[in-house]
Structure 1
Amino acid sequence: MSALPFRLREGSHAHLNDLRIFKGVEAWVFDLDNTLYPAHTNLFAQVDVRIRDFVARLLDLSPETAMDVQKDYYRRYGTTLRGLMEEHGITPDGFLEYVHDIDHSVVAPDPALGDALAALPGKKFIFTNGSRRHAEKTAARLGVDGHFDDIFDIVSAGLLPKPNREAYDLFLGATGVTPGRAAMFEDLARNLAVPHRLGMRTVLVVPQGTREVFREAWELEGEESPDVEFVTDDLAGFVAAVAGAMKA
C-alpha cells in the first residue's frame, strides 16, 4: 500500500486502494477552486477578498462585518452571490466580473495533472460555482484546458450553486452525463452528497497540510460521510492511478 504515488484514505463505502470501482465510468466531473489546483496557491483567497470588498461596498459595511455577512450567506445559500440575490435583489453580472478580476498567474502549470487527465477514458467536465471566464483562465494556467469537453458554471446552473440538487440536475441535462457512469471530484464533502446519491463515484480532494488553514470547521463536516468514497491529497497521482486501474 505504501508504494502508491498518492495519499489515500478509505471512504465509508470503498475498499482501500481498490480503484477498480471506477471501471465503467465514462464521464469525469471536476470542481474547480481548491480541487483542480491546490489551496496553497491562494488563488481563491483573492476571490474571497474581492467578495468581502463587494459586500462591504454594496451594503456600506466595515470589512469585518462584511466578512461575517459573506460567510453567513455562503453557509446558508451555497454562495455569497446567491445570498445577495435572495436578500438584496442584486443581479449577478457585476458581482461575477468583480470577484473574478484576480491575478491568475499564481497558478502554476501542472503537467502531471494534464498527463493524468489525458489518460482517463471518456469525457471530462469542470462543474464550478464560479464563472466560466474564471474557470477558463485557471484551466489555461494549469495547462489542462485542452482536456475538458465543457465547463458548467454558475450561470449555466441558473445561478443555483452546489450543493442544491437543481444545480446537478441542470448539469446532467446539459451534458447528457449518466450518473451511474460518472465520477465527481470535490474539495467540499457536502457537494458530494447529491452526486453519490445519484450513483456517481465520489472523491474528496484534500490538499495535505492546507485544509485546516483554508477551511472553517463547518466546511470540514462530512469527510467521514458515506457519500465520500475516496479521499486523496494528490489529485494528479490519484487520477493517474485510476487511469492505470481501468487499463489493467
Structure 2
Amino acid sequence: MADRRSSRVWFFDLDNTLHKASGHVFGALNVAMTDYIAEYLDLPRDEASELRARYWHRYGATLLGLERHHGVSAAHFLAQTHALPGLEDHLHSHAHDLAALRRLPGRKFLLTNAPLAYALRVLAALGMSRDFEGVVAMEQMRMFGQLRPKPDARMFRHLLARLRLQPGQCTLVEDTLVHQKVARGVGMSTVWMQRWLQRATIGPEAGARLRRRPVYVDQRVRSLAQLKSLETACRGDPTSGSCG
C-alpha cells in the first residue's frame, strides 16, 4: 500500500480525477440532490434545482448551505443522495491506470468531498481499494462542529498537521481548480487532471479552458502515468516549481 521510499505524499481527488464522473455519475448526483431538496424542503423541483446550484457556487458544496440554513442532517443527506443504485455498472478503470498508480512512489491518500461509503464503493469498483494508505472523505472534514470540505484552507492545514506532514512534501491531484488554488496557498504543489474535462458538460470545470495553466497550478496532466515523471523531477530537484 504505502511506499515510504519517497518523501512525496500524494492526495488524490476521486470524481473526474481517478475515474470519469462528468457523465452518468454527476448527472445522477444532481438529480438525487434536487429530489432530496424538493422533498425535505417541500419545494417545486425547479426551485430545488436552483437552490442546489446556488449553494454549490456559494459554499463549494450544496450540503453546507442545507446544513447551515435549513438544519438538514449531513449524514442523512449524504446517505440518501449517494445511494445511486447500479453505480458500479458505470464505473470503469484501465489496466494502465492501475499500473501507473501502483508504480508511483510515495504515500497516497484519497481526499474527496464525497461521503466515505460512496468513496469506498467507487474504489472497489475501480480495483483501487488497496492502493491508498487512507481515505479522507466528507465525514472526516468536520472541525469544531462544522463541516470544512475542500476548498477550506483550515481543513488542509488541519489534515497535514494530523498526518504530521509538511506542505512542501505534498501534492494535490485534482480536476477542480478552486481546490488547487487553496492547496497551493497553504504550500502544497498542485496537479490539474484534465483527462475527462475536454467534453465535460457537468461538474465544476465544465467548459474550462484547458490550455491555460493558472499560476497556482504546477502541472497539467491527462493520465496517471504522467505523475511518475513529476515525482522523478521532484527527487532530482526538490526546489523546482512543480515540487512545491
Do both proteins adopt the same fold according to a TM-score greater than 0.5, normalized to the shorter chain? yes
Relative contact order (alpha carbons < 8 A, sep ≥ 6): 1 or 2 greater? Answer: 1
What CA distance in whole angstroms lies between the structure 1 residues aligned with 2:43 and 2:11?
Answer: 38
Q: Percent identity?
A: 27
- TM-superposed CA distance for 1:188, in Å, is 0.9
- TM-superposed CA distance for 1:148, in Å, is 0.1
Which residue identity lines up with residue 150 of structure 2 in the other structure?
Answer: K
Change (3 A) 1:90 1:132: same
Residue 104 of structure 1 pairs with residue 87 of structure 2: yes
For structure 2, the 5+ residue unaligned runs are: 1-5, 237-244
What CA distance in whole angstroms lies between the structure 1 residues aligned with 2:124 and 2:23?
Answer: 15
Question: Within 5 Å, which residues of 2 pair with 1:11-50?
Answer: 26-50=8-32
For structure 1, the 5+ residue unaligned runs are: 1-23
- TM-superposed CA distance for 1:135, in Å, is 0.8
Alpha-carbon contact 1:41-1:107 (below 8 Å) kept: no
Question: Within 5 Å, which residues of 2 pair with 1:168-183?
Answer: 168-183=156-171
Q: What is aligned with 1:199? A: 187
Question: Within 5 Å, which residues of 2 pair with 1:54-93?
Answer: 54-93=36-75
- TM-superposed CA distance for 1:205, in Å, is 1.3
Q: What is aligned with 2:136? A: 152
Which residue identity lines up with residue 225 of structure 1 in the other structure?
Answer: P
- TM-superposed CA distance for 1:193, in Å, is 1.2
Change (3 A) 1:137 1:67: same
Give the SS at the match of 1:39: coil
- Cα deviation 1:10-55 (Å, max 9, x = unaligned): xxxxxxxxxxxxxx75100011111111235522221221111111
Give the SS at the match of 2:138: coil
Counterpart pick for 2:216 among 197, 217, 227: 227
- TM-superposed CA distance for 1:174, in Å, is 3.0
What CA distance in whole angstroms lies between the structure 2 residues aligned with 1:88 and 1:160?
Answer: 17
Which residue identity lines up with residue 173 of structure 2 in the other structure?
Answer: F
What CA distance in whole angstroms lies between the structure 2 residues aligned with 1:201 and 1:183?
Answer: 5
Alpha-carbon contact 1:110-1:143 (below 8 Å) kept: no
Alpha-carbon contact 1:180-1:199 (below 8 Å) kept: yes
What CA distance in whole angstroms lies between the structure 1 residues aligned with 2:116 and 2:27?
Answer: 18
Give the SS at the match of 1:203: strand
Give the TM-score normalised by structure 1. 0.81
Alpha-carbon contact 2:156-2:186 (below 8 Å) kept: no
What CA distance in whole angstroms lies between the structure 2 residues aligned with 1:37 and 1:246?
Answer: 25
Alpha-carbon contact 1:113-1:236 (below 8 Å) kept: yes
Which residue identity lines up with residue 82 of structure 2 in the other structure?
Answer: H
Alpha-carbon contact 1:53-1:66 (below 8 Å) kept: yes
Pairwise CA RMSD of aligned residues?
A: 2.4
- TM-superposed CA distance for 1:191, in Å, is 0.4
Give the TM-score normalised by structure 2. 0.82
What CA distance in whole angstroms lies between the structure 2 residues aligned with 1:216 and 1:132?
Answer: 20
Which residue identity lines up with residue 230 of structure 1 in the other structure?
Answer: Q
Q: What is aligned with 2:242? A: none
Q: What is aligned with 1:15? A: none
What CA distance in whole angstroms lies between the structure 2 residues aligned with 1:70 and 1:244?
Answer: 42
Which residue identity lines up with residue 79 of structure 1 in the other structure?
Answer: A
Alpha-carbon contact 1:192-1:227 (below 8 Å) kept: yes
Change (3 A) 1:178 1:221: farther
- Cα deviation 1:120-151 (Å, max 9, x = unaligned): 11110011111111111111111111110001
